[in-house]
Amino acid sequence: MSAATNQRPSDGIQLYVGVVVGSGADLQAPCILGKPPRGVAAGQLPLTIGDDALVGPFTTIYAGSVLGDRLRTGQGASVREDNVVGDDVSLGTNAVLEPGNRIGSRVRIHTGCFLEMTTVEDDVFVGPHTVFTDDPHPAGCPRYRDCKGGALVRRRSRIGANVTVLPGVEIGEDSLVGAGSVVVDDVPPGAVVVGNPARVVKAVADLTCPPGFFERPYVWPPYAGT
């Protein structure tokens, strides 16, 4: 499906010039695809969305991004320009991707999350209302884009609800960040961190499954994007 109009059709789906959507898409009205960023003309930047996408109502995806196959968005998701998103990614209701994110495949970004200039590798789970910051001195530093930037989230890490991640932090592979934590320092691979500021309390390998369903948590396959 390729769009060459910026008019809102009667079904409530607005497709701007330069939007290419793969086969099997379910675009749920009202939604806007290919909205030009400020100062950019319609059609100047392309928007590509892969096959079998489900774009929820009230979602806006700006021009200038590439999103992979089987994208899922909840209601009111917002994806700005300069985002690259892999396959089998879920963006929850009211999740916001500001510019500059690089998201791997099989990633779940839950309701109300905020990311900017953040790199997220494959098979990562991000709990509801997690915020990734990118500016160490907010409110107007003219050089902030040359400073720390966003976090780096390594593959198969899991982040609980209501977590705040400070600029430039690296969250290690296979780690777990407890709900409500404020992450100010790098998280070692395989570690469990909790608190404000977040501190290592144990290893993921030491976690237990109280009901006894599994030998321990995370022996199951990584999140599969469903």
Positions annotated as catalytic residues are 137
Report d(CA 74, CA 129) in Å as an integer. Answer: 14
What DSSP string runs through 174-223? T-EE-TT-EE-SPBPTTEEEETTTTEEEEEGGG---TT-SSSSTT-SPPP
What DSSP string runs through 56-96? -TT-EEESSEEE-TT-EE-TT-EE-SS-EE-SS-EE-TT-E
Q: What amino acid is encoded at 50 in this protein?
A: G
Of the candidates 178, 212, 172, the one whose C-alpha atom is nearest the C-alpha of residue 190 is 172
- The neighbouring-strand residues paired with 161 are none
What's the full length of the chain, in residues? 226
Beta strands 108-109 and 65-67 are unpaired
Alpha carbon 98 to chain centroid, angstroms: 9
